[in-house]
Amino acid sequence: MPGSLTRALGTGLALSALFIAAACRGRAADGISRELYIDTYVEILRTADKAPDSLAAFDSARAILERRGIGEQDLLDFARQHIRDADYLSEVWLEIERRLKAPPDSAPKRAPPMDDEG
């Protein structure tokens, strides 16, 4: 159990460093969509869970963002855009949790879209 805790903390620190070290990349004023935010976080968290160490998790997260054509700043901007709507952000993270609990190879049954006017 101590190894799992150490690995989890290392992964968390690596991912935190990734998002804190975000480079300012341009994005449309309305930012990324709710679906892209959720899908990206689910993929990053699933990949991080399988990574052998925090450096591998960090590298995987960067590769995922690059492949999706977004940056760390886009994820942060999404959260900032909706920061005043706790219910909206709660629903987003509940959806992330729901998808993480589903088998990774199953096509996720997406929750009904929410109004992005948070």
For tokens 């150490």, the residue is: 6
Residues 71, 77: Cα–Cα separation, whole Å: 10
pLDDT of residue 29: 52
Mean pLDDT of the chain: 79
pTM greater than the 0.85 cutoff: no
Mean per-residue pLDDT for 9-35?
A: 59
pLDDT, greater one: 14 or 114: 14
Mean per-residue pLDDT for 75-86?
A: 95
Domain coordinates of the chain in residue numbers? 2-101
- Whole-number Cα distances in Å, 11 to 1, 27, 58: 15, 27, 7
pLDDT of residue 12: 58
Residues 9, 65: Cα–Cα separation, whole Å: 21
